[in-house]
Structure formats: structure tokens, C-alpha cells
Amino acid sequence: MDIFALLYEWLKSAHLIFVIFWMAGLFMLPRFFVYHQESPEGSTEDAQWVEREARLRKIILNPSLIIVWIVGLALAYYTGAFSQGWFHAKLLFVLLLSGYHGWMVGYSKKLARGERPMSGKTLRLLNEVPGIAAAIIVILVIVRPI
């Protein structure tokens, strides 16, 4: 029996677990940004937010993103998903969500430098992006409308 077939359910489970971790980080970081921007520049609180944001990126967000992509692409290859329309749509939304992740990492580095280009209201609105993307991705995977 193929080793991948033996591991398939474990890989699928790992993919879902790390998607949950990644999404948790994507929900947390913009909320951190709101609180960070409300702290006085150069204060102890400001420095604490910089540290919290860096830990969230290094411990949860970036490792989860990498594992999600590696395991997800392996699963897609093994199941032949690359030839299916629902997967192309899902992949598009995962790429967009990955871009959002990259933008947030960049924004956290701006905050660490003392730059605060966005309002708290805008950041609160941006906090909705991962939820909307997750809903669309789940529908594409479960319902497979395409």
C-alpha cells in the first residue's frame, strides 16, 4: 500500500489543524494592531505590542502558513485536485489570504518602526478579511460549487 494513502487522513488532519492556527493568528494580529496604535508612541506599552506582534508572527503565523501550504499542496497533488474547478477557486482565495498575511507582517514591521499609517477603524474592518475568506474557502471545499 502507498505510504501516502496510509498517511492521508493524518495529513488532512494536520492541514486542518494548521489552518485553524493560521486563521487564529490572522484574526489576532489586526486586533493587536488596533491596541498597539492606541498605545502612546515610544512607551513601554508600545514596546510590548511590538514584542507580542513579533512572537505571534514567529511562533504561530509564519510556521502555520508554511505547514498549510506544504501539506495542502501535497494533498492536492495526491488527490488530483489540480484538475478541479473548485480547487482553482480555493487556491485563488488561499493565495489572496497569503497576500493578506504578508501585508500584515509588513504592517507590523511599520508599527515597530513607529509608523502608524492606518486608523483603528480601518484595521477593525480589515479584521473581517480572514473570516470572509475562510467562509468562501470552506464552501468551495465542502459544497464544491464549481
Long-range contacts of 72-79 (CB under 8 A, 24+ apart): 72/15, 74/4, 74/11, 75/8, 75/11, 75/12, 75/15, 78/4, 78/8
Tell me the binding residues: 15, 90
d(CA 135, CA 123): 20
Tell me the binding residues for heme: 15, 90
